[in-house]
A and B are shown apart, each in its own frame.
Chain A
Amino acid sequence: MLEIEIDGRKTEVADGSTVMDAAHQLGIFIPHFCYHKKLSIAANCRMCLVQVEKAPKPLPACATPVTNGMKVLTHSEAAVKAQKGVMEFLLINHPLDCPICDQGGECQLQDLSVGYGQSASRYQEEKRVVVNKNLGPLISTDMTRCIHCTRCVRFTQEIAGWMELGQAFRGEHAEIMPFIEKTVDSELSGNVIDLCPVGALTSKPFRFAARTWELSRRKSVSPHDGLGANLIVQVKHDRVLRVLPLENEDVNECWLSDKDRYSYEALNSDARLTKPMLKQCGEWREVDWQTALEFIGTDLKRVVREHGAAAVGALASPHATLEELHLLQKFVRAAGSENIDCRLRQTDFSLDGKNVTPWLGLPVAEIPQLDRVLVVGSFLRKDHPLLAQRLRQAAKKFTRVSLLHVADDDQLIALHAKSIVAPSALAAELSGIVKAAAEAKGVAVDAALAGVQPSAAAKTIAASLISGEKGAVFLGNFAQQHAQASTLHGLAQKLAEITGARFGYLGEAANSVGGYLAKAVPGASGLNAARMLAEPRKAYFVLHAEPEFDCANPSQALAALKGADLVVALTPFKTRAHDYAHVILPIAPFTETSGTFINTEGRVQSFNAVVKPLGETRPGWKVLRVLGNLLGLAGFDYDSSEAVRAEALGGKPASVAERLNNKADGMVLNLTAAAPTLQRIADVPIHFADALARRAPSLQKTRDAAPPAARMNAATLAKLGLADGVQVKVSLGGTAILAAQLDAGVADGCVRIAAGHALTAELGPMQGEMTVERA
């Protein structure tokens, strides 16, 4: 520990701390621009110059290491003179037109110039003008305002993992720019807007929409990936105008993915449904709630009477709130059916009944402490942008991260080892890792693994896991959706046992864990999502889901729904429900209802509505409550969503931790997998993954939202007699016409075709044998 005195106040700091760290500890503010706690030290703005005893010159607090007994003055005459000098330099070329700048009112330069600037400029020469850059659909530039702090540059390099911005040219001609004619395509790109201390980088969708002081700030939780990033939703006149991160070191730190940040655009879009709709005599008409709900009540009773309660099924999106999921399952069960599921893309349900409530297996905040990590079956960077970011930072320190997957996408993580195999070989490769680990540890293996020959990569990964002290094995979205999901689970569980590692799931959606805890999964006698669609029901309730995009087999789902007598769609949006539903009810998206998401680490995060529901929209939990009342079901008299949550969680949010369990009892490994000559790999691209993201116009303009193609490696293309760019007809149950695309990262005999998009909705299941021919 080192002793330091700042402005006459003493403190002790750890070795290696800077003067800035010590000042933070003492609560002393030192003005700064380039310094940011999450980024490397640049020391280029010079605003944090302070006077250090015995130093001949003022020193930058951000970059000056504390020495024992150091005495620092942050507001002495010499320090303030240096700070004011720097401020004058920063302002000479900066436009002094705050009233027309989008950053006005929330600008660090503006704020600090009040304290350190002069009332008039001594600079009488011409000011610098810098041409704006096109950074893509999300970030707007006003480069003349740039003060070259390079926070954005360091962010792309260090946090996002790919240096998409840099400082070109010298001296006064220096400009922050992407590589020639490129845009910033990172899934974390929006964070540079928060980091920019001036109005050089601002939000393109939000640009000039409102002044910061006109906006109300309300806390919320991201409804997208399993992390549940904490949000500040900014609202004016009951409209969401912007979303910013709410700092929570244990969850999202100070970052947001672009999906978290920009999906709000869908809330205000024309795609919103604002009135209950009823299909009568083949025609859709707007009706009042009473009519719609009464119609449902009558028709549901008829279906149950004619076909029995087991003819009723419910499909819920894992992006729905805990309260909605709880009431939906309660409603369906009260109606006498056990058919409810929120795991729409899952295909292997043999873990049901084995007491598994899959979760991360450890708190998110503990990821940096892991020294060995194996991720199995995950489009990590796009499925879990901020968890991937944590692993990226960990890999820079001492964590060895390995990946076993079906596509060689660049995760921008310094991977220790990776193995890229066809989907049908995923379980075999993982069993190789288990076998190698068991042999190295001298542990007996399951008889099913007797004939397994570990590959070189499998041995490397196994050795890495064994050599660590605190390891973890994570199953990603792809592994969860895989036809052998339970075998992958069993192998991963075994591997964790052998190596002493933790074992968990990277939860697919905001409420994947909540779905289990709300019991939005079938009971012993019920049908799971796949069976409900394979064995069509007479009545379906569809909550927040878009089966044509969200199900493991969209075309089968559509067929089942179209054949039903009663389909009730509860959704905030105008979806394809008009093709198959009989009643469409406009329910609130996350900003218009109170609710709870339980993230992948089991963190219960409740939130309130931030705006009034749009038009006739009503919160989903209220709609389900009234529906329960209307049918005369007992126990639907709730006063608040808190009461629903209390019931769903057994009254004690703290007990959630006890109910999470990844350890399955009595696992049976089934390593026999058919190896089709041509098989599909389906990813769910980041901006196609849920209803909100699909309707956010700016997100849909990004590179990540490119339409799906049939991606194959050169060998597969050659074998099929195809070339990059030709139109092909792909068939897998259904068909789709797509462009063939060369992708060296796809294994032999595989075709990667994204799911979640209109172009591939009619194609059929997300996995299985397929054919490709020239269109």
Chain B
Amino acid sequence: MGALGFILDPAEGERSWRLAEYVKRGGYTALKKIFSEAIPPENIVAELKKSSLRGRGGAGFPTGLKWSFMPRQFPGAKYVVCNSDEGEPGTFKDRDILRWNPHMVIEGMIIAGYAMGCARGYNYIHGEIWEIYKRFEEALEEARAANLLGNNILGSDFSFELQAHHGYGAYICGEETALLESIEGKKGQPRFKPPFPASFGLYGKPTTINNTETFASVPYIINQGGDKFLELGKPNNGGTKLFSVSGHVNRPGNFEVPMGTPFKDLLDLAGGVRNGRKLKAVIPGGSSAPVLPADLIMECTLDYDSIAKAGSMLGSGAVIVMDETTCMVKALERLSYFYFEESCGQCTPCREGTGWLYRVVHRIEHGEGRPEDLDLLNSVTDNIMGRTICALGDAASMPVKSFVKHFGAEFEYHIRNKKCLVPEDVQRAGSGFFKVADPHPQPLSQGERGAS
């Protein structure tokens, strides 16, 4: 597996996150290369465009293009911001990048600062991973001590200062403009766009915001070239990607695989479906991505285009696996509750609509569903989607829409019979929280045991 990736896989061992270890692995050579070869900023952006690196936070926007939006001649402050506020249920890749390889992110951000003419950067780390925030602060101290940050970095005439900033656990602060508001000390609420951050961002100045994994990919592209990065994946989907696999698999965790890897290979890496049960459904890109039933997802390769064709999104690469013991109504109830709780409350459709969705699904789950409820759910999601300031409205709606679309029969059964299609004891056995005799016992193979 170590051969597949370059972000997490080489960074092993307790001290891997230290500057000395990172340098031993070839860290900061990209930065040194830029200074020693005096690579002009335009060339860096061009290299990124060549690499087809697409934003790893979820939207998949081409990074090179985004960097080229920054007004080069703008006088005064410009900012580069790293979005490490991964709050999407199912996603936990940035946490591990910062835990094992923080300097790769720092190096990527310095290069970004150089390429876009920014003298200051911020890394916004979400509030629930305090020890990782502290580790990142330590890494920053190391970088400052080694003159990798500060004035005249490594003797060049480029100066860059980088600060860590931690949130307090609001999902919405992962939305880039809400994140900027939060850094500014205001309530985390998305801004209406336009203007976009590239013209009016942090403190009203041009700002570029990228995901942690995106920044971590930058040094590789500079060292190896954009073409090499693109070759790692497939056309229009360059590089490797971290997938956070969770749910009903034997070995949940982060897996770094090339873009375009077939889904079933990833499932194998994660040890297959737990207890050898049958795969029921997969949410391929974090909880806001539409759910895909087993037969559809098993045909997909892991890249933006293939998943989109199947009707979902690669998103942040958070793969939530659900086996046959899952009650889809209960699963949706939990997801809807999350979006209801996390809506910022700023704009009407999301503030009012997410609560409505949750309450209807909750009612169905608790045997109080009505025949017209599925039409109601569809109509309410239609009224939310595309009508809100940020994407949270869509994020709350897509699970509802896709669950009802693919598993409508299960919902109807629930409404009609006031109970689950999946028997209660099967659900309890599958949940793992209850000490119940497994109705479908199946021992693990020896190989799987060893790997975990």
Contact = CB atoms under 8 A, between A and B. Distances in A.
Contacts of B192: 41-43, 60, 63
B200 interface: no
Contact of A46 (B187, B345, B349): B349
Interface string B361-387: 001000000000000100000110011
A167 B348 CA distance: 14
A585 interface: no
A63 B376 CA distance: 30
Contacts of A44: 346-348, 389
B74 to A, nearest CB: 19
Contacts of A531: none
Interface in B318-375: 340-356, 359-360, 363
A47 B347 CA distance: 10
Nearest to B340: A171
B187 A167 contact: yes
A58 B351 contact: no
Contacts of A47: 348
A592 interface: no
Contact of B352 (A63, A90, A122): A90
B383 A172 contact: no
A65 B359 contact: no
Interface residues of B, number: 32
B388 interface: yes
Interface string A43-58: 1111101000000111
B387 A171 contact: no
A172 B345 contact: yes
Given A170-B345, A171-B342, A172-B340, A148 B376 contact: no
A453 to B, nearest CB: 38
B170 interface: yes
A123 B356 contact: yes
Nearest to B341: A171
A85 B349 contact: yes
Nearest to B373: A124
Given A57-B386, A88-B383, A170-B172, A45 B348 contact: yes
B342 A82 contact: no
Given A60-B192, A85-B383, A169 B345 contact: yes
B425 to A, nearest CB: 31
Interface string A75-102: 0000000100110111011000000000
A167 B194 CA distance: 23
Contacts of B341: 170-171
A586 to B, nearest CB: 53
B387 A148 contact: no
Contact of A148 (B342, B351, B356, B360): B351
Please classify how large the interface on chain A is, using the bins under 10, 10 to 19, 20 to 34, 35 or more: 35 or more
A85 B352 CA distance: 11
Interface string B166-200: 00001010000000000000010000101000000
A65 B353 CA distance: 27
A172 B348 contact: no
A173 B345 CA distance: 8
Interface in A91-124: 92-93, 122-123
Contacts of B172: 170
Contacts of A188: none
B344 A170 contact: yes
A65 B194 contact: yes
Interface string A160-177: 000000110111111000
Interface in A102-159: 122-123, 125-126, 128, 147-148
A156 to B, nearest CB: 15
A76 to B, nearest CB: 15
Contacts of B354: 171-172
A253 B350 CA distance: 34
Point out which of B340, B352, B376 has the most chain A C-beta atoms below 10 A from its C-beta.
B352
A283 B389 CA distance: 73
B194 A89 contact: no
Contacts of B363: 125
Given A43-B347, A57-B386, A166 B187 contact: yes
Contacts of B386: 56-58
Point out which of B343, B344, B348 has the most chain A C-beta atoms below 10 A from its C-beta.
B348
Nearest to A94: B352
B127 to A, nearest CB: 14
Nearest to B370: A124
B202 to A, nearest CB: 18
Contact of A58 (B187, B346, B355, B387): B387
Nearest to A166: B187
Contact of A167 (B345, B349, B353, B376): B345
B387 A170 contact: no
A179 to B, nearest CB: 13
Interface string A23-52: 000000000000000000111111101000
A56 B394 CA distance: 14
Contacts of A169: 345
Contacts of A90: 348, 352
B223 to A, nearest CB: 39
Nearest to B352: A89
Contact of B345 (A86, A92, A148): A148
Nearest to A125: B359
B387 A92 contact: no
Given A44-B348, A92-B352, A174-B344, 7 more contacts: A44-B346, A46-B348, A125-B355, A125-B356, A167-B345, A171-B355, A172-B352
Interface of A: 41-47, 49, 56-58, 60, 63, 65, 82, 85-86, 88-90, 92-93, 122-123, 125-126, 128, 147-148, 166-167, 169-174
6 contacts: A41-B192, A46-B349, A125-B356, A148-B346, A171-B351, A172-B354
In the A-B complex, list the 9 residue pairs whose CB atoms are closest, starting with the nearest.
Answer: A174-B345, A85-B383, A171-B343, A57-B386, A89-B352, A43-B192, A125-B359, A172-B355, A171-B345
Interface of B: 170, 172, 187, 192, 194, 340-356, 359-360, 363, 376, 382-383, 386-389
